């Protein structure tokens, strides 16, 4: 978002803000971006959000095997978003190693909009989100465009040097609310739960591990389910499916 003082404050592209690598690797070698932890429990497939309003300026599908650092394929599946210029220079954010992206080149996106899910494609040792900010085509330390609401995975992770600092948010500028939703339904019969499960497979929500179920009674006849965080379109489809099978779901902002 553009702050009232004209500066840019980007939104964190993930819900959790844990740096595993900074602008320089722990070895001191240049890294040109930051790595954010995506692992929570058993899954590293997490929603990735646009850091600011903009237009998707590039996408790349990973070829599935090239990891050569000199090749763009080392980014794996990635998305670039071009934002409004900053001081007459182009401003682009890049989201790399995605499991999948759900936007297309030329598409307009809003800050906080779901653009894809984190993964481990390209040149990676483990799942994480690699995030870059390019000003005038040159990569800059992303932390100078974000607020300081983050932690580091260890004390050796580089953050920023003297003279660089995270953006200060004027008190009058409020962050944008998430538009994602989580749908919950409890005490479903097995048939009702299976109907939603089939839809979740169709929408690829199961593949992205966004569908959760647990038995709500000892006879294992009823289930509580939770689907999300998902887009409003997918949330509506899940709610419609629930009502079609005579069940009721509730939507919560994710």
Residue with the CB atom nearest Zn ion in the bound state: 130
Instruction: Give the Cα-Cα-Cα angle 228, 102, 16 (nearest 5 degrees).
Output: 50
Residue span 114-133 as binding mask against Zn ion, x where in contact by CB under 5 A, dash where not: ----------------x---
Whether the CB-CB separation of 118 and 97 falls below 8 Å is answered with: yes
Q: CB of residue 170 vs Zn ion: minimum separation in angstroms? A: 30
Residue 199: its H or E element: helix 190-202
Q: 211 has which bridge partners?
A: 227
Q: CB of residue 143 vs Zn ion: minimum separation in angstroms? A: 13
Q: Which is nearer to Zn ion, 94 or 130 (CB)?
A: 130
Q: Which is nearer to Zn ion, 70 or 174 (CB)?
A: 70
Question: Looking at 20, 35, 46, 134, which residue binds Zn ion (CB under 5 A)?
Answer: 35
Whether the CB-CB separation of 77 and 122 falls below 8 Å is answered with: yes
Q: Which is nearer to Zn ion, 119 or 229 (CB)?
A: 119
Query: For residue 121, what are its two tokens?
Result: 């494609």
Q: Which of the 8 DSSP states describes residue 15?
A: S
Q: Which 131-190 positions form the footprint of Zn ion (CB under 5 A)?
A: none
Q: Which is nearer to Zn ion, 36 or 238 (CB)?
A: 36
Residues binding Zn ion: number (CB under 5 A): 3
Whether the CB-CB separation of 107 and 56 falls below 8 Å is answered with: yes
Nearest partner of 159 among 8, 14, 36, 34, judged by Cα? 34
Q: Which is nearer to Zn ion, 145 or 211 (CB)?
A: 145
Q: Which stretches of the chain bind Zn ion, using CB under 5 A?
A: 33, 35, 130
């Amino acid at each position: 978002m553009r702050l009232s003082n004209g500066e840019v404050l980007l939104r964190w592209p993930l819900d959790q803000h844990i740096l595993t690598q900074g602008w320089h690797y722990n070895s001191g070698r240049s890294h040109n971006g930051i790595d954010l932890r995506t692992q929570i429990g058993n899954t590293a497939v997490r929603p990735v959000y646009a850091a600011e309003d903009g237009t998707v300026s590039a996408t790349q599908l990973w070829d599935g095997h090239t990891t050569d650092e000199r090749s763009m394929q080392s980014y794996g599946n990635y998305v670039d978003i071009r934002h409004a210029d900053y001081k007459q220079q182009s401003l682009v954010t890049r989201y790399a190693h995605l499991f999948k992206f759900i936007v297309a080149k030329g598409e307009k996106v809003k800050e906080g909009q779901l653009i894809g899910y984190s993964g481990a494609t390209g040149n990676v040792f483990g799942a994480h989100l690699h995030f870059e900010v390019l000003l005038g085509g040159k990569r800059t330390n992303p932390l100078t465009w974000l607020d300081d609401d983050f932690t580091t995975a260890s004390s050796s992770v580089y953050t920023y040097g003297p003279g660089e600092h995270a953006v200060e948010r004027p008190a009058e500028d409020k962050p944008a609310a998430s538009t994602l939703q989580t749908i919950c339904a409890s005490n479903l019969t097995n048939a009702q739960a299976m109907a939603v499960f089939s839809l979740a497979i169709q929408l690829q929500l199961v593949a992205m591990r966004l569908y959760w179920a647990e038995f709500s009674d000892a006879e294992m006849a009823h289930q509580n389910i939770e689907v999300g965080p998902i887009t409003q379109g997918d949330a509506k489809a899940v709610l419609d499916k629930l009502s079609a099978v005579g069940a009721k779901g509730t939507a919560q902002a994710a």
